[in-house]
Amino acid sequence: KNEVEQSPQNLTAQEGEFITINCSYSVGISALHWLQQHPGGGIVSLFMLSSGKKKHGRLIATINIQEKHSSLHITASHPRDSAVYICAVRDQKLVFGQGTRLTINP
């Protein structure tokens, strides 16, 4: 069993829809990261969480430490949000989920 599990693996939605991507982990962590990887391959850090909730523009990330679960939400989704979203947890090393491939159709 992977230490970090993401769901869904693939998600296709229409522009404007509210998107939720989930991440569950089985190890003790000091921080959880949400990352975005565009088709060109570059990886960008979106959020780092150790508790509660963070918001940046249309993106919201939450974490429940007791339940070992985090969610990434995208409001008013847009085709430019199409990317792979990756959850990673860190104690000493960063361990990645498999990623969620999001496609937003116009």
Partner 1 sequence: NAGVTQTPKFRILKIGQSMTLQCAQDMNHNYMYWYRQDPGMGLKLIYYSVGAGITDKGEVPNGYNVSRSTTEDFPLRLELAAPSQTSVYFCASTIGNAVGAFFGQGTRLTVV
Interacting residues with partner 1 (CB under 8 A)? 30-31, 33, 35, 41-48, 50, 86, 88, 90, 92-99
Least distance (Å) between residue 67 CB and partner 1: 20
Least distance (Å) between residue 80 CB and partner 1: 20
Say how far apart CA 73 and CA 35 lie, in whole Å.
Answer: 13
Name which of 14 and 45 has its Cβ closer to partner 1.
45
10-14/19-25 β-pairing = unpaired
Least distance (Å) between residue 96 CB and partner 1: 4
Say how far apart CA 54 and CA 64 lie, in whole Å.
Answer: 12
Torsion sign (Cα): 75, 104, 38, 8: positive
